[in-house]
Amino acid sequence: MVATVETISAVEEATGKYKYGFVTDIESEKAPKGLNEDIIRFISGKKNEPEWMLNWRLKAYRHWLKMPEPNWSKLSIAPIDYNDIYYYSAPKAAEKLDSLDEVDPELLATYEKLGIPLNEQKMLSGVAVDAVFDSVSVATTFREELSKVGVIFCPISEAIQKYPELVRKYLSSVVPVSDNYFSALNSAVFTDGSFVYVPKNVKCPMELSTYFRINEQKTGQFERTLIVVEDGGYVSYLEGCTAPQRDENQLHAAVVELVALTDSEIKYSTVQNWYPGDETGKGGIYNFVTKRGSCRGDRSKISWTQVETGSAITWKYPSCVLKGKNSIGEFYSVAVTNGAQQADTGTKMIHLGEGSKSTIISKGISAGKSQNTYRGLVEINRGAESARNFTQCDSLLVGQTCGAHTVPYIVSRNPSGKIEHEATTSRISEEQLFYCLQRGITEEDAVSLIVNGFCKEVMKELPMEFAVEAQKLIGISLEGSVG
Amino acid sequence: MLPEFDNFEVKNRWQKVHIDRFLKSGWPSSKNEEWKFTSLHHLVHKPFKIGLNLNGIVESKSAPSIKGANQLIFRNGILDSQLSEVDSDDLVINNLLDNPSASVFLNQTKLKQHPVYNLTLGAMRSATVIDIDNASSKQTPLIELFFTGGLIKQSSHPVVIVRLAKNSKVNILETHSSYNGLSAPIIFIELGEGSVCNHVKCQVADLDSIQLGLTLINQEKDSDYRNFTLSSGGCISRSELHLNLNGEEAICHLSAIYLGCKQQHMDVTSRLYHNVANCKSEQIIRGVLDDRARGIFQGKIRVAPEAQKTDGQQMTRALLLSRETEADTKPELEIFADDVICTHGATVGELDENQLFYLVSRGIPLIKARAMLIEAFLIDTLSQIRAPELKKQAEYYIQDWVSKSTKLSSSTG
C-alpha cells in the first residue's frame, strides 16, 4: 500500500525534528560522578537536610544495593552504568531569590521556549508553577495566593526544612523505600521535586503545575513528588516534561506519591515528551517512574491522566491503592511510540475498601519500529465487598514493523466484586478511511480524525491547559502517518 | 526432588539431557513469570517414584464408555496392551522410542526450559505414536485414551503422539482418572494439511493428586482443530496447551472449563502462536469456583510479523460461588503484525441474584435453580464439539460436578 510508505516517511519527518531539542548554557555545580554513601551524604548536606532524612536515604541506598535490576518488562535496555552518572547538579545561582527578576535570564528564556507560564502575563491564566530546572527548584510563584487558603506548594527540599512533621508522616508511606529497584534508587539520591499540601475542606483555587526538565549533560534526574490532600480537599496537578537533545542515555527515575483522605480528590495529569532518541533509539531518555496514589479516606478519589509520547524507554505504572470505602481510582492513558521507542506502561488498581471502583482506559498507538505494551493489574481483595472495575485497552498499529502487546493481570478474591476487561488490537479500518475519502476528506485529515476519535476518551479527561499541548504532541507524532 | 533419578535408567541416552535440564531448573516457583500463579516449589519436599510397571488399581470413576471406540489404556503412564482394544484399520500404532528418529521429533519444540516437558521426556518409558491416514474413509475413528494408576507416591509420564496425514480425520477422547500422586502426560497432535481433529480432554483425577498435563498441537494448512478441556480433579491441576498455526487458513477452537472446590488449585494455560497469515483462532474459557478453590487462566496469543489477516478471539469468564475463592486471570496479547483483529475479554463475578430470584419465584427450588444457572454458564463451551458422543462425555462430567457442588453447598447452608 502506498499509504504505508507515506506513513513511514511522514513519521520520520514528524519525529526526526525534535522541537524541544535545545541546550541551555548555565554554569552548574556538580557532585563527582558515581554513586556511593559519600555522594548521598553530599546531596543531603547540600540540601541542609536533618539527620533523619540522611538516615532514610542511606537505608534506601543500602537496600538498593541488595536489589536486582528488574527484567520482567517487555523492554530491551542497554545495561545502565549507575556509576557513570552525576547524581547532583545545581544551577549556580545558589542565593535565595526574592523575585523573578533575580532568576537567570537564560533560564527564563528556556522556559519561554517551552511555553511555561512563569511570568506576569502567564500568571493571569491562573497557573502556579514550581519549576524544577535540573535538580533545584529555582523559582516559585503564586505561593502567596495559595498560602491565603492554606495550600502549601513548594520544592520538597524546602518542605523537609519547613514542614518536617508532614513530610515525615507521608513520605514513603505510599511507595515504601524498598518497593522496587528504581524507587529505592530515587529515595537514596533524589535532589528535588514538589510538595503539595491541601488542608481540610479547601479546594485548591488554581491548577498547580511543574515542568520538569533535564538539562545538564549526563545528569540523572531523580524527582520526588508528594501530594497530600486532607478531608474534603481538592487539587489538580499538572506535570509536563520536555528535554533537550542528547547523545548519551539519560536516566530518569522519579517517584510520585499521592495521599487522598476522606472525601478528597486528586487529579494528576501528565504530558511526557522527553527526547525519544534518534531512529535507533540512541540518546533517548530512560524513564523509570514509580507513581502511586493512596485513597485512604472514604469516598476519596484519585485520577491519573497521562499522555506519553516521548522517551526511548518508558517504564511507568501509575497506580491506586483503594483503601477507603467507596473510593475511586481512575487511569486514562494515551501512549504513542514511534521510531525505536519502547513503552511498557499501565496501571495497578488494588481494591481493599468496600464499594471501591476503578476505571482504566488505555490507548496505545505504535508506529515505526516501536514496541508498546500495556501491563496492568486489577486486584480485588477479600474485604473489597462489591468492588467494581472496568478496563478497556485498545491498541492501534501503524506499519508492519511495530508491536502492540497487552498483559493484564486480574486477581479476584471476592465474589461480589465485578471485573470487566476488554482489549482490542487493530489498525485503522479500511472502511472508516474509505468512508472519509469518499466524502472528500483528504487521507491525512481522515487519519487524524480517526486517531483523534481513538484517543478521545482519554483526551477529554485532560485539563484545558494541557489539552492543547497534548493534542499538538499527538498531532506531531501521528498526523497523516496512519494508513 | 525425585531422588529416584539417582538409580533411574533411561530408555534412550538422549533422555538424560532432559533429566539433567529438569534437575538443573527444578520445580518452578512464582518468580518464574510462566508459573507466577502456580508455584510448584513445595513439590521439592514430595518425592515420587516414577511408574515403571502396570501395578496398582485400574478401576476409577468415569463416564459410560463409548461403543466402537479404539481404547488405549495407560496405567502409570505405560500402555497396557492387554486391556487396550484397537480395531480400526485407519490407525497404525507404534512405540516411537523404538525409532531412532524419536529424539529429532520430540526435540523440535521450543520448550527446552519447560519443567513438565523435560521431566516427562526424561522419565517416559514409551512414546505411543498413532498414525492416521484415512482421507478416503467415510467414518471418523474415535480414539479413547484412558489414563489411570493407583499409587499415591508414584508418578506417571505417558507420551502420546497422534499424527494425521493429509485430509485425515479423527475424534479423540482423553480421560485422566488417575490416583497417582503426580501425572505429567504429554499429548502431541500433528495435523497434516486439511485434516480435522475433535479433541475432548476430561481431567477428573483424584483430588489428592497433582495433574500437570501438556498438550502440544501443530497445525498445517487448512487443518481444523477443536479442543474441549474439562479439569475438575487434582489438588493442583495445570492444563497447559501450546498451539502453533503453521499453515494458512488453519482454524482452531479451544474451549476449556475448570471446576474447583475444597482447596483445589486449577490452572488453565494456553499459548497460541499465529505464525502464518490468514488463520483463525477462538478461545472460550469458563471457570466455576467453590469453597476455597483458586482458579487461574493464563492465555497468550502471539501474532508473528508475517501473520497478517489474523483473527484471534479470546473470552474468559469466572464464576465465584463462595466467599473464599480466588480467580486470577492473565490474558495476554503479543502482536507484531498490523492487519489483524485480536480481542480478549475477561469477567469475574458471582451468580446473578436477579436470575436466581426469577427462577425461585417461579417455584424452582433454590438448589435446582443454582444448578441450572451454573450449567447455563458453562454450556456455551460445548457448542463447538461436533461429535455427539464426545459432547455427552463432557456433559456427564459437568452435571456430575454441579450436582455434587450444589449438594455440598446446600448441606453447609
For residue B201, what are the domain limits?
A: 3-351
Enumerate residues 6+ apart whose C-beta is below 8 A from A386: A354, A355, A416, A417, A418
- Point out the residue among A399, A407, A409 whose CB comes nearest to the CB of B338: A399
Q: State the count of interchain CB pairs (< 8 A) between A and B.
A: 113
Q: What is the pTM of this model?
A: 0.83
Per-residue pLDDT of chain B (413 residues; tens, 9 = 90+): 454 666 677 777 888 888 889 988 888 988 888 899 999 888 877 778 888 777 766 666 677 778 888 999 998 888 888 888 888 888 888 888 777 777 777 776 778 889 999 999 988 888 899 999 999 988 899 999 999 887 878 889 999 999 999 999 999 999 998 777 899 999 999 999 999 999 999 999 988 899 999 999 999 999 999 999 999 999 999 999 999 999 999 999 999 999 999 999 999 999 999 999 999 999 999 999 999 999 999 999 999 999 999 999 999 999 999 889 999 999 989 999 888 888 888 888 888 889 999 999 999 999 899 999 999 999 889 988 888 999 999 999 999 999 887 666 655 44
Q: Which residues of A touch B339 (CB under 8 A)?
A: 427
Nearest residue on chain B to A406, alpha-carbon basis = B333
- Point out the residue among B335, B338, B346 whose CB comes nearest to the CB of A410: B346
Q: How far is A421 from chain B (nearest CA, A)?
A: 5
Return the pLDDT at A243: 47
In a domain, B402, yes or no: no
In a domain, B155, yes or no: yes
Residue spans of chain A under pLDDT 70: 1-29, 89-143, 210-220, 241-249, 465, 468-469, 472-473, 475-483
Backbone φ and ψ of A475, nearest 5°: -55, -50
Nearest residue on chain B to A392, alpha-carbon basis = B345
Return the pLDDT at A181: 92
Enumerate residues 6+ apart whose C-beta is below 8 A from B311: B279, B280, B281, B340, B341, B342
Which amino acid would we find at residue A112?
E
Give the whole-angstrom CA distance, residue A337 versus residue B372. Answer: 48
The predicted-structure confidence for A130-149, as pLDDT tens digits, reads as follows 555 544 444 455 667 788 89
Pair type for strands B159-164 and A342-345: unpaired
In a domain, B364, yes or no: no
Return the pLDDT at B354: 92
Give the number of other Cβ atoms within 10 Å of residue B112's Cβ.
Answer: 12
Return the pLDDT at B94: 84
Q: Do B326 and A413 touch (CB under 8 A)?
A: yes
Enumerate residues 6+ apart whose C-beta is below 8 A from A455: A334, A363, A365, A474
- Point out the residue among A412, A413, A423 whose CB comes nearest to the CB of B333: A423
- Point out the residue among A380, A415, A418 whose CB comes nearest to the CB of B323: A415
- Among chain A, residues having any CB pair with chain B shorter than 8 Å are 72, 380, 382, 395, 397-427
Nearest residue on chain B to A417, alpha-carbon basis = B349
- Among chain B, residues having any CB pair with chain A shorter than 8 Å are 33, 305, 308, 318, 320-350
- Point out the residue among A398, A406, A412 whose CB comes nearest to the CB of B320: A412
Return the pLDDT at B178: 78
Q: Do A406 and B333 touch (CB under 8 A)?
A: yes
SS3 state at A328: strand
Give the whole-angstrom CA distance, residue B129 versus residue B120. Answer: 16
Q: How far is B253 from chain A (nearest CA, A)?
A: 19
Q: Do B344 and A406 touch (CB under 8 A)?
A: yes
Q: What's the full length of chain A, in residues?
A: 483
Q: Do B335 and A411 touch (CB under 8 A)?
A: no
Half-sphere exposure of A381 (CA within 13 A, CB side): 11
Backbone φ and ψ of B388, nearest 5°: -60, -35
Element (H, E) at B154: strand B154-156
Q: Report how many domains make up chain B.
A: 1
Please, are residues B191 and B217 in contact by the beta-carbon 8 Å criterion? Answer: yes
Helix A464-478 with A2-16: angle, nearest 10 deg:
130
In a domain, B413, yes or no: no
In a domain, B316, yes or no: yes
Give the whole-angstrom CA distance, residue B161 versus residue B130. Answer: 6
Return the pLDDT at B45: 74
Q: Which residues of B touch A388 (CB under 8 A)?
A: none
Q: Do B348 and A417 touch (CB under 8 A)?
A: yes
Backbone φ and ψ of B151, nearest 5°: -120, 125
Strands (E) across B350-410 are located at none
Q: Do A415 and B322 touch (CB under 8 A)?
A: yes
Which amino acid would we find at residue A194?
S
Helix A51-66 with A181-189: angle, nearest 10 deg:
150
- Point out the residue among B324, B329, B340 whose CB comes nearest to the CB of A425: B340
Q: Do A422 and B345 touch (CB under 8 A)?
A: yes
Residue located via cell numbers 436477579: B354
Strands (E) across A206-354 are located at 207-213, 224-229, 234-242, 250-252, 255-260, 265-273, 285-295, 301-308, 313-316, 319-322, 328-337, 342-345, 348-351
Nearest Cα to Cα of residue A73 among A316, A398, A337, A367: A316
Per DSSP, helices labelled H in B328-387 are 353-361, 366-379
Q: Which of A374, A413, A424, A433 to mutate to test the interface with B (most CBs of B within 10 A)?
A: A413
Q: How far is B39 from chain A (nearest CA, A)?
A: 16
What separation in angstroms does the CA of A38 have from each of A66, A88, A110, A216, B7? 18, 12, 33, 21, 57
Q: Do A423 and B347 touch (CB under 8 A)?
A: no
Q: Which residues of A touch B374 (CB under 8 A)?
A: none
Q: Which residues of B touch A413 (CB under 8 A)?
A: 325-326
Please, are residues B280 and B243 in contact by the beta-carbon 8 Å criterion? Answer: no
Q: Do A425 and B341 touch (CB under 8 A)?
A: yes
